[in-house]
Amino acid sequence: MKKWLIGLLCMFSLVGCSIGQDMTNTPTKKVEAYLDGYKQLDDSVVNDIDDLLKDAKYTVEQKTRYKEIMKKHYQDLKYEIKDEKIDGDKATVEVEIEVRDYSKVLSSDVVPDEIKDEEGNYTEEAFYDYQLGQMENVKETVKYTVTFYLTKKDKEWQIDDLSESTKQKIHGIYIY
């Protein structure tokens, strides 16, 4: 009797595990996991920031400031799944995201006096300090509707490469 109960429990646990695994293998769940990775600052997200900063012309201090700005930005990202459509091995998930709007800071052509040296010359380092200061003060948010495209490979849903505009929207730097 004990062996029969143990066998039955093992069978239920195996079935439960496979059901649980199937519940996370939906297009919506994959997109949620992807966006939650930003909110939770997964290693891949932090590594992406580090990779971006490797070639940046920022000073060490500016790189640290930028990284902290983006970490806070990602943690504050809000999203709502609006729609999911599946057509065979292809799917789309429409999501409304809300992020800080850095586009105005990044698209500004204004060169204020505070980013010039004592002789009135523009300096790149001062400009980056100014720009990072402006980004640190951004409170305004913007909402975007983005569509994630997914493909099922080997019975597993995978997010296709994101378009450049979708990436910019997630990062809050989309300029329209």
Under DSSP, the state recorded for 93 is E
CB contact set of 38 (below 8 Å; sequence gap of 6+): 45, 74, 77, 170
Ordered domains of the chain (ranges, CATH)? 26-171 (3.10.450)
pLDDT in tens, 60-79: 999 999 999 999 999 999 99
pLDDT in tens, 125-135: 888 888 999 99
Instruction: Tell me the C-alpha distance between 171 and 164, whole Å.
Output: 11
